[in-house]
């Protein structure tokens, strides 16, 4: 199954958004009254997606170069 992405930069933008969302979780969580341990677990779970999206962006770039 061949999946081609026309814009690999989209993965990088989502990766940056995920990192920022993880930091926002650290900032907003205490104000909402959540315990610190729960905030840390949630932020780490969100941040785990960043390297995955980076690898997908790199894969999309390599596939585009292979096509050319």
pLDDT in tens, 21-57: 999 998 999 899 999 999 999 989 988 988 888 888 8
State if pTM tops 0.95. no
The C-alpha R_g of the chain, in whole angstroms, comes to 16
Which of helix, strand or coil describes residue 29?
coil
Mean pLDDT of 6-21: 85
**pLDDT for 62:** 86
User: Is pLDDT at 1 greater than 60 in this prediction?
Assistant: no
Mean pLDDT of 3-26: 82
3-state helix, strand, coil split of the chain in percent (to 5) is 80, 0, 20
Residue 63, by phi and psi: left (phi above 0), alpha (psi -120 to 50) or beta?
alpha
Domain ranges of the chain: 10-61
């Amino acid at each position: 199954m061949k999946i081609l992405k026309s814009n690999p930069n989209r993965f990088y933008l989502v990766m940056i958004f995920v990192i920022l969302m993880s930091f926002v979780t650290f900032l907003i969580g205490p104000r909402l009254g959540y315990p610190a341990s729960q905030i840390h677990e949630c932020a780490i779970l969100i941040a785990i997606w960043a390297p995955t999206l980076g690898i997908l962006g790199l894969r999309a770039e390599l596939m585009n170069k292979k096509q050319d």
